[in-house]
Amino acid sequence: MQEHLSILLVVIPLVAAPIAAMLPRGRMPWMVTLMVTFICAILAGMQLWTVVHDGTISYELGGWAPPWGIEYRIDAVNAMVALIVAGIAALTLPYALLSVEKEIPERQIPLFYSAFLLCFTGLLGITQTGDIFNVFVFLEISSLSSYALISLGRKRQALTSAYQYLIMGTLGATFFLIGVGLIYSQTGTLNMMDLAERLPEVSGLKTVHTGFAFIMIGVALKLALFPLHLWLPNAYTYAPTVITIFLAATATKVALYVMLRILFTIFPDGFVSATPTGDLFILSGMAGILSASIYAIYQMDIKRLLAYSSVAQIGYMAMGIGFASAMGVTATIIHLFNHALMKGALFMAVGAIIYRIGVCRLDNIQGLGRQMPWTFGAIVISGLSLIGVPGTAGFVSKWYLVLAALEQEAWIAVAIILIGSLLAVVYMGKLIEALYFKPATETNLAVKEAPMLLLIPTGALVLANIYFGLDTELTVGVAERATQALGVAAK
Amino acid sequence: MSELPPFLLYFIAAFLVPASRGRVRKIILLVTPIVAALHIWLNIDTGVLSTYSVLNIELTFMRTDKLSLIFAYLFCLASFIATIFALQVNDTKQETAGLVYVGSALGAVFAGDLITLFIFWELLAISSVVFIWARGTERAIDTGMRYLIFQVLSGVFLLAGALVQYQATGSLAFDHIGLEGIASWLIFIAFGIKSAFPFLHNWLTDGYPEATATGTVFLSAFTTKVAVYALARGFAGEEILVYIGITMACFPIFYAVIENDLRKVLAYSLINQVGFMVTGIGIGTALALNGAVAHAFSDVIFKGLLFMTMGVVLHRVGHINGSSLGGLYKSMPKTTAFCIIGALSISAFPLFSGFVSKSMVMAALVQEDYSYLWLFMLFASAGVFHHAGIKIPYFAFFAHDSGLRPKEAPINMLIAMGLAATLCIFIGTQPQYLYSLLPWEADYWPYDVTHVLTQLQLLFFSALAFVWLNKRGIYPPELRSTNLDVEWIYRKFLPAGIHRGLIFFRNAKESTMTAAIAPMYSIRYSFSQSTIAKYHLSESWPTGSMVLWISIILVAYLLLDIFVYG
């Protein structure tokens, strides 16, 4: 089984998806999905372990040797991202049971889980594959299923936001495909390692540059790089809670991984700094941090507030990419991991509030902090992590990012990272003020703490936030390995 | 054992307190300072250095020398007294925050590198604001927020300074820094905010008077003293500190004399006392540094004592306005006596603790030929006697009889005040014990004829001035008033200025509108009525604008790529 690890991660959820759809209503589809996510999480853990100890895994699909056949090629980067995807899914699923029963009509539940598994397959597939066209295929699998999942939200706006996301996502995927086509026309290969070998010869060609631009913008759309983030707030706000948690913690991360792979592994060294790419990322990162954080301050809907905060956090990661140094990319990878932890925890805690009162506007949640102390605690701790207080995971990534910026002597970037943290204090402060310092309304006084099934996964993520804030051996170690694996030149 | 950082004891207690109740909790609260003090006394000697590796950075939690040890003893002592004083308060939040607060202060003085210092610096800020918020009033919440912003800002400066320092030198060690380069200035400002440099002091006079009766006793002892410690370690001998210190010692006097809220008077006098310490650090000779440290030690105790007596008045009467108190000595004789001891100490009467420490700073000033600055300090000393030594006890306990007859303080408060008062007299009469703890070698004895006579002259003449002014009715009466300080700039002037500015711009915009753009405006209006606008300008972004962005970026990227970078 050991040698089939990487393919199993994709095949198991793919096979389980139609099974979940065919199962009778009730809790069976959930059980199946739960099992699948747990198995995948364990496999992903084993995969990371293998990669770290034995080096890169190369798996030939159907016995066809690369570059003719499709190759699954796993090194520290994708093993880590795959673990994030599978781990978050495994934590989301116990949470999903009650939340989904409350938010999704009963007859749609099997289909919901089926779509969830497809989305899961797609995201895992993107991380596993070493073939750029295959990335496109999995990108479409995950996107199409996530459009369906978002449209299942309770409000009618869910339909429009899913539609909007569909248009944007399709545009992104098309751009990606156009770019891949252009590059294929010059190199004649789709295998990533093969591309990396052949591209240096042709990297001066205008066609390659244009192809690169299309690919980069296509992926930037999927990862909601400012100002291509416009689909994200709506999608996160109106999607069912569980989907918001899952997508916020994984989808943009996977897209970010694709971006890293393309910029640093596939395209030759120095390509990022020889083209406007690096500056574009730094600029868009800085603009994103400032404007999205300010937008977040003015939101009344908490999910929307957190969605804008996600855009700002993506800005931090973009900045790290833009520096194009080993330190910057390490910071990005660490933040990729840590942001999955904190946003996962925050959306879960907010989901617990939605589970109890049905809405999550700032004026509806007044005084709930005292009614739901554990949920409130989770929001406070993961909020501190988001701000970047020492002792939490958020601090570690901000620290590395600031170091990377100092290394480049990018003083403005340093200032903006710090200002971004201050803005995060303001918007998290607004949330905490409403939850704790405002007097509770009559109806809120009757609200009880969320059920254990929601609290335990939330708590696990919150503890992870603290744990990875104190013990950085794992995150930093893996991230440094990952940076090496990507082929970023160390300075 | 010597490697166990004492702050851990406090943090462990902070976890135990919420889990326990009643008597057990009180015992934990009381025992923690004693155990910590014993641990420091018996196990920890100078020269301990223990590090712990986080994030590829060595965090030095323990770095001991005589300078950190004396502050550690002081903090244990102060927390013990303040805990006794606050014993009747049953508020989990304040009790837990108090332990975290004291623990962080201990952590900060043992911190051997800037990152560890930063961590405790921020913890100090976050835990201390609880004492202000615990008051529960709308005003206290606003004040607490302003206080927190100042404190966190100080932390941000410290972190920024540390990072720049690390980038420049590759070392994060917290030793003598000196004022050279951006890094040191950033750190200097961070320390300056916490030690209430002029123009950066408003968090103190704004925040401390709003804290709870017992909370202020905690607050007054730790935050500024940690900053004094940090300055003494990092910036000893920087001449600019002499001038900053003298300004700090002088300007609060004017505010303190006209202020009505007696705890605010004490807050101003706290800045004034810190001014003496900062001056001592600025002079930088062994005697002056010893003086600064010794003065920090005695200040914590007598200022704590004064805040305690005012806390008792607040606790029993419910407010602390000088104009409507008076005559309380009739029903609170013991508190009155303690208050007078505190007042004598802060005014540096011979035989009281203020005298033995302040005279060191004064002597150092003379030794280093700062004679005209010495005159300013003399003025500051007279001023202290005036507002803290006479005004506080006089208006609270004597003056005109307000008719209030509150009960004497509760027994635990009396014990706490008694302890502090005893210490004031003990240090004042037996200074050799305090001197033996001082970090630098300097031979000094305060009780000689010149010192005692100068001080007594000074004190008696300012007492005379007070009596004369008071009898002639010239002394500024205690009025209900708001006194403007620098904070007026950011609380009233800037908001009002911004408001005016906005109005100005709005008017300008409107006049341009009507003159030039009115026709276009009306077209835009009719457009906004159309269905397209109604549909597209809704809350969320229209799909079209996203497509527009995509094309803009693609085109811009390609143009740049071909023409600029290519």
Domain coordinates in residue numbering, chain B: 1-235, 236-478, 486-529, 536-566
Taking each continuous run of H as one helix and of E as one strand, the counts in chain A are 21, 2
Smallest CA–CA separation between A178 and chain B, in Å?
A: 13
In chain B, which residue's Cα lies nearest the Cα of A284? B553
B239-258 helix and B262-283 helix, angle to the nearest 10 degrees: 160
> How far is residue B365's CA from residue A398's CA, in Å, rounded to a whole number?
45
Chain A residue whose CA is closest to B152: A422
> Is A209 an 8 Å CB contact of chain B?
yes
B173 CB within 8 Å of a chain A CB? no
Please indicate whether residue A457 or residue B463 has the higher confidence score (pLDDT).
A457
- Residue A384: closest C-alpha in chain B: B126
Measured between beta carbons, which residues in chain A are less than 8 angstroms from residue B554? 175, 213-214, 217
Q: Distance between CA B1 and CA B323 in Å, rounded?
A: 54
**Residue A108 CB neighbours (<10 A):** 14
Cβ contact B122–A389 (<8 Å): yes
**Average pLDDT of every residue of chain A:** 89
Query: Please, what's the largest Cα pairwise distance for chain A?
Result: 71
Contact in structure between A269 and A331 (CB atoms under 8 Å):
no
Question: Which residues from chain B sit within 8 angstroms of residue A280, using beta carbons?
Answer: 553, 557
Residues on chain B touching A157 (C-beta within 8 angstroms)? 540
B516 vs A: CB within 8 A = no
Neighboring chain A residues of B151 at a CB cutoff of 8 Å: none
How distant is the Cα of B108 from the closest Cα of chain A, in angstroms?
Answer: 15
Q: Are strands B49-54 and B57-63 parallel, antiparallel or unpaired?
A: antiparallel
B482 in contact with A, Cβ within 8 Å:
no
Pairwise CA distance, residues B33 & B230, whole Å? 22
Distance CA B4, CA B72 (A): 14
What is the pLDDT at residue B538? 39
**What tokens were used for B34?**
């004693």
Quote the pLDDT of residue A368.
85
Residue A388 makes CB contacts below 8 A (sequence gap 6+) with A394, A395, A397, A398, A421, A424
**Mean of pLDDT values over A254-272:** 88
For residue B119, the distance in angstroms to the closest alpha carbon of chain A comes to: 7
Length of chain A: 491
The pLDDT of residue A21 is above 70 = yes
- Does residue A87 sit within a domain? no
Does A206 contact B546 at a Cβ distance shorter than 8 Å? no
- B406: preceding bond cis by omega (within 30 degrees): no
Residue with tokens 């950033």: B186
The answer to whether residue A202 is domain-embedded is no
Contacts of A390 in chain B (CB under 8 A): 115, 118-119, 122
Q: Judge: A213–B550 Cβ closer than 8 Å, yes or no.
A: no
From residue B109, alpha-carbon distances to A82, A160, A451, B312 in Å are 44, 58, 44, 30
Report yes or no: B452 at the A interface, CB cutoff 8 Å.
no
The residues near B448 (Cβ < 8 Å, ≥ 6 apart) are none
Q: Which residue does chain B place closest to A421, by CA atoms?
A: B156
Q: Are A276 and B559 in contact (CB under 8 A)?
A: no
Q: State the CB neighbour count (10 A cutoff) for residue B185.
A: 16
Strand intervals (E) in A6-139 = 57-60, 71-74
Closest listed residue to residue B253, CA positions, set B24, B481, B476: B476
Confidence bin at A258 (pLDDT 50/70/90): very high
Average pLDDT over residues A125-140: 92
* Rounded distance between C-alpha atoms, residue A487 and residue A471, angstroms: 26
| Nearest Cα residue in chain B from A391 | B119
Least confident of A100-104, A224-228, A443-447, B345-349: A443-447
CB pairs under 8 A between A and B: 85
Please indicate, yes or no, if residue A324 is contained in any of the structural domains.
yes
β-pair partners for B285: none
Q: What does R_g of chain A's alpha carbons equal in angstroms?
A: 21
Which residue from A minimizes the CA distance to B562?
A206
User: Which among B549, B550, B561 has the least Cβ separation from residue A275?
Assistant: B561
Residue A36 has pLDDT above 80, yes or no: yes
How far CA B351 is from CA of A12, A311, B266, B301, B341, in Å, comes to 84, 65, 22, 15, 11
Using an 8 Å CB-CB cutoff, list chain A residues near B560: 276
Does residue A195 sit at the B interface (CB-CB below 8 Å)?
A: no
In sequence order, what are the beta bridge partners of B54? B57
* A360 domain residue, yes or no: yes
Taken in order A129, A130, A134, A136, the sign of the CA dihedral is positive
φ, ψ of residue A72 to 5 degrees: the values are -100, 125
> Rounded distance, CA B471 to CA B464, Å?
10
**Are the Cβ atoms of A391 and B119 closer than 8 angstroms?**
yes
pLDDT at A118 over 90: yes
The range of the structural domain enclosing residue A306 comes to: 276-491
Judging contacts by C-beta atoms under 8 Å, the chain A residues touching residue B164 are: 406
A361: phi then psi, degrees, rounded to nearest 5: -90, 150
Tokens read off for B156 = 């941000």
Q: What is the largest CA-CA distance in chain B?
A: 93
Residues 6 or more apart whose Cβ sits within 8 Å of residue B176: B233, B234, B235, B236
Distances in Å between the Cα of B21 and the Cα atoms of A42, B73, B101, B131 are 43, 28, 20, 20
Looking at the structure of chain A, the number of domains it has is 1
Cis omega (within 30 of 0) for bond into A67: yes
Residue among A231, A274, A391 minimizing CB distance to B546: A231
pLDDT of residue A309: 93
Coil, helix or strand at residue B61: strand
Beta strands, E only, B129-278: none
Tokens of A45: 């853990």
pLDDT of residue B479: 56
Q: ipTM for the complex?
A: 0.82
**Mean pLDDT of the A149-160 span:** 88
Q: Cβ neighbours of residue B476 under 8 Å, at least 6 residues apart?
A: B257, B258
pLDDT of amino acid B535: 45
Reported as a pLDDT band with limits 50, 70 and 90, residue A449 is: confident
Considering only the beta carbons, identify the residue of B141, B557, B565 that sits closest to A274.
B565
The reply to whether B118 touches chain A by the CB within 8 Å rule is yes
> Please, which residues bridge with residue B505 across strands?
none
Return per-residue pLDDT of chain B as tens, 566 residues: 667 888 888 888 888 888 888 888 888 888 888 888 888 888 777 777 777 776 666 788 888 888 888 898 899 989 999 988 888 888 888 888 888 999 999 999 988 888 889 989 988 888 888 888 888 888 888 888 888 888 888 888 898 888 888 888 888 888 888 888 888 888 999 999 988 888 888 888 888 888 888 888 888 888 888 999 999 898 988 888 888 998 888 888 888 877 888 888 888 888 988 998 999 898 888 888 888 888 898 899 888 898 888 888 888 888 878 777 778 888 888 888 888 888 888 888 888 888 888 888 888 888 887 778 888 888 888 888 877 778 888 888 887 777 777 888 788 888 888 888 888 888 888 888 888 888 877 777 777 777 788 888 878 887 887 778 777 766 665 555 556 666 666 666 777 777 777 777 777 766 766 666 666 666 656 655 655 544 443 355 677 778 888 888 888 888 888 887 76
B540/A164 touch (CB, cutoff 8 Å), yes or no? yes
Answer for the pair A348, A95: CB distance below 8 angstroms, yes or no: yes
pLDDT score of A141: 94
Nearest CA in chain B to A402: B163
Which chain B residues contact residue A425 at CB under 8 A?
A: 152
> What is the chain B residue with the closest CA to A218?
B550
User: Per-residue confidence at A434, pLDDT binned at 50, 70, 90?
Assistant: confident
